[in-house]
């Protein structure tokens, strides 16, 4: 029985990443410590987790990152206003 896997890009890109590894670039800065990354070749998305390691960017993790980013931006704007 064959198992299906999710393809994030074309077959050549997937083969390249399987052979040499992913080439991640920062796609979004959530906070100073948490970022979202995207592979240049296969478009796979990952994010940093609580321990600082890379983990798959699931819809649940994406929602957590969006909420965290909103809270971080509100706090930074409040700190800047009180200093000025």
Look at residue 7 and tell me whether its pLDDT is greater than 50.
no
Q: What is the mean pLDDT of residues 56-68?
A: 95
pLDDT, position 9: 54
pLDDT value for 5 = 41
Predicted TM-score (pTM) of this structure:
0.75
Residue 17 to residue 70: CA distance in whole angstroms: 33
Nearest to 30 by CA among 58, 78, 71: 71
The pair of three-digit structure tokens given for residue 52, joined into one six-digit string: 């600082």
Q: What are phi and psi of 47, to 5 degrees?
A: -140, 165
Q: Give the position of tokens 């987790």.
A: 49
């Amino acid at each position: 029985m064959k198992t299906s896997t999710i393809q994030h890009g074309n077959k050549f890109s997937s083969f390249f990443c399987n052979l040499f590894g992913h080439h991640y670039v920062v796609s979004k800065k959530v906070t100073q410590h948490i970022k979202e990354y995207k592979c240049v070749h296969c478009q796979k998305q990952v994010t940093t987790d609580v321990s600082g390691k890379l983990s798959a960017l699931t819809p649940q993790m994406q929602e957590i990152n969006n909420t965290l980013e909103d809270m971080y931006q509100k706090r930074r704007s409040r700190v800047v206003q009180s200093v000025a």
